[in-house]
């Protein structure tokens, strides 16, 4: 084994320790309150050493976000090829329930990706996060298929459906993560009931004035 091969595991382990330390600090203290020096102190390295692995604090966050979104999508793939009898609306339901499950399994990632308003926007690096947009396109395409099948009223806007369902699930996820549930309240049951209520309303159709935002190119 040459020197480079021996060093690679060490670099990977150190990079992992930096990401883990930063994730904990970002969630506990807020992104804006955490400096590279503070991250370095937590892992036992100098700030200069951190720059050997990441260009900046923003770069550390973006690495965490990239990792988190990959984890989210990998855990929620609706394998339609493996389940050819599964209806599009069932895959849509599963995809949004998976988002709630992700917030339970990886609360720190979820908080950084969806709750902290001070973190960098992933839209600043769409080349790196193009897979996020692609997954969104796949889900809205699935919603379009459900509309074509008559699962939602003709003329429904798939982006509207996507945003309404996202808001429904993120609302419960946020209540749970921020400890805003009543004592003994069943968050899982509430998440399922909220999603079903949103799906039922969208499938029945109703008048509204909401228009989805335009995504930046």
pLDDT of residue 217: 41
Share of the chain above pLDDT 90, in %: 80
pLDDT in tens, 92-124: 999 999 999 999 999 999 999 999 999 999 988
Q: Within a domain: residue 114?
A: yes
Q: Is the pLDDT of residue 7 over 50?
A: no
Can you tell me the distance from the alpha carbon of 24 to that of 5, in angstroms, rounded to the nearest whole number? 30
Rg of the chain taking only CA atoms, in angstroms: 20
Q: Is pTM beyond 0.85 here?
A: yes
For residue 74, being part of any structural domain is answered with yes
State phi, psi for 154 to the nearest 5 degrees. Answer: -55, 140
100/3 same-domain check: no
User: What is the band of 4 on the pLDDT scale with cuts at 50, 70, 90?
Assistant: very low
Tally of structural domains, the chain: 2
As a whole number of angstroms, the distance between CA 74 and CA 115 comes to 21
Residue 59 lies in a domain: no
CA distances from 9 to 5, 12, 199 (A): 8, 5, 47
* pLDDT tens digits along 42-72: 999 999 999 999 999 999 999 999 999 999 9
Domain with 13, as residue range(s), is: 1-54
- Identify the band that residue 79 occupies on the pLDDT scale cut at 50, 70 and 90: very low
Q: Are residues 200 and 101 in the same domain?
A: yes
The residue-averaged pLDDT of 173-194 equals 96
Do 88 and 23 lie in a common domain?
A: no
The tokens describing 56, both together, are 């900046």
Based on the domain organization, do 76 and 153 belong to the same domain?
Answer: yes
**6 within domain boundaries:** yes
162, pLDDT greater than 80? yes
Pick the more confident residue, 207 or 5.
207
Q: Is the pLDDT of residue 5 over 80?
A: no
Query: Would you say residue 62 lies in a domain?
Result: no
Percent of the chain with pLDDT over 70: 90
Whether 26 maps to a domain, the answer reads yes
pLDDT computed for residue 6 by the predictor = 40
Q: Is 15 in the same domain as 109?
A: no
Q: How confident is the model at residue 76 (pLDDT cuts 50, 70, 90)?
A: low
Q: How confident is the model at residue 9 (pLDDT cuts 50, 70, 90)?
A: low
Whether residue 157 sits in one domain with residue 93: yes
Q: Is residue 61 part of a domain?
A: no
pLDDT band with cut points at 50, 70 and 90 for residue 84: low
Do 105 and 196 lie in one domain? The reply is yes
The answer to whether position 212 is within a domain reads no
Distance between CA 195 and CA 93 in Å, rounded? 8
Q: CATH number of the domain that 44 lies in?
A: 1.10.10.60
């Amino acid at each position: 084994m040459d020197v480079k091969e021996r060093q690679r595991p060490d670099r990977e382990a150190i990079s992992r320790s930096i990401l883990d330390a930063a994730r904990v600090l970002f969630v506990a203290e807020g992104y804006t309150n955490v400096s590279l020096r503070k991250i370095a102190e937590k892992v036992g390295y100098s700030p200069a050493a951190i720059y050997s692995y990441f260009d900046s604090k923003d770069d550390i966050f973006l690495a965490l976000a990239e990792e988190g979104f990959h984890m989210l999508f990998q855990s929620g793939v609706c394998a339609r090829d493996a389940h050819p009898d599964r209806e599009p609306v069932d895959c849509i339901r599963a995809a949004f329930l998976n988002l709630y499950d992700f917030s339970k399994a990886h609360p720190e990632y979820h908080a950084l990706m969806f709750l902290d308003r001070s973190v960098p926007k992933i839209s600043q690096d769409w080349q790196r996060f193009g897979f996020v947009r692609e997954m969104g396109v796949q889900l809205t395409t699935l919603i379009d298929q459900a509309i074509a099948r008559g699962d939602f009223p003709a003329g429904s806007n798939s982006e509207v459906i996507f945003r309404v369902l996202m808001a429904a699930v993120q609302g419960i996820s946020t209540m749970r993560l921020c400890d805003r549930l009543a004592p003994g309240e069943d968050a899982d049951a509430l998440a399922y009931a909220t999603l079903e209520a949103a799906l039922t309303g969208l499938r029945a159709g109703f008048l509204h004035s909401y228009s989805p935002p335009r995504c930046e190119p």
